Amino acid sequence: MSKQEAEPASFDRPYLCVFCGSSMGTRPAYADAAQRVGAAIASNRMGLVYGGGRVGLMGVVADATLAGGGPVVGVIPDPLATKEVAHRGVTELIVVPGMHERKAKMAERAAGFLTLPGGVGTLEEFFEIITWAVLGLHRKPIGILNVDGYFDPLLALLDNSIAQGFARPAHRDQLVVSDDPERLVAKLLDHAMPPQGRQWINSDET
Quick check: is 76 in a domain? yes
pLDDT in tens, 73-98: 999 999 888 776 899 999 999 999 99
pLDDT in tens, 25-78: 999 999 999 999 999 999 999 999 999 999 999 999 999 999 999 999 999 999
The mean pLDDT of 189-194, rounded to a whole number, is 71
Domain containing residue 71: 22-191
Quick check: is 81 in a domain? yes
Q: What CATH number should be reported for the domain holding residue 72?
A: 3.40.50.450
Quick check: is 49 in a domain? yes
Quick check: is 15 in a domain? no
Count how many domains the chain has.
1
pLDDT in tens, 155-164: 999 999 999 9
pLDDT in tens, 105-148: 999 999 999 999 999 999 999 999 999 999 989 999 999 999 99
Q: Which pLDDT score is estimated for 153?
A: 98
Distance, C-alpha 166 to centroid of its chain: 26
Quick check: is 196 in a domain? no
What confidence tier does 8 reach under pLDDT thresholds 50, 70, 90? low
Answer whether 128's CB lies under 8 Å from 103's CB: yes
- Average the pLDDT over each of 68-72, 185-189, 191-195, 202-206 and give the range with the smallest value: 202-206
pTM of the model: 0.87
Quick check: is 53 in a domain? yes
What confidence tier does 174 reach under pLDDT thresholds 50, 70, 90? confident
Quick check: is 3 in a domain? no
Angle between helices 56-67 and 28-43 (to 10 degrees): 30
Answer whether 110's CB lies under 8 Å from 75's CB: no
Quick check: is 139 in a domain? yes
Instruction: Return phi, psi of residue 125, to 5°.
Output: -65, -45
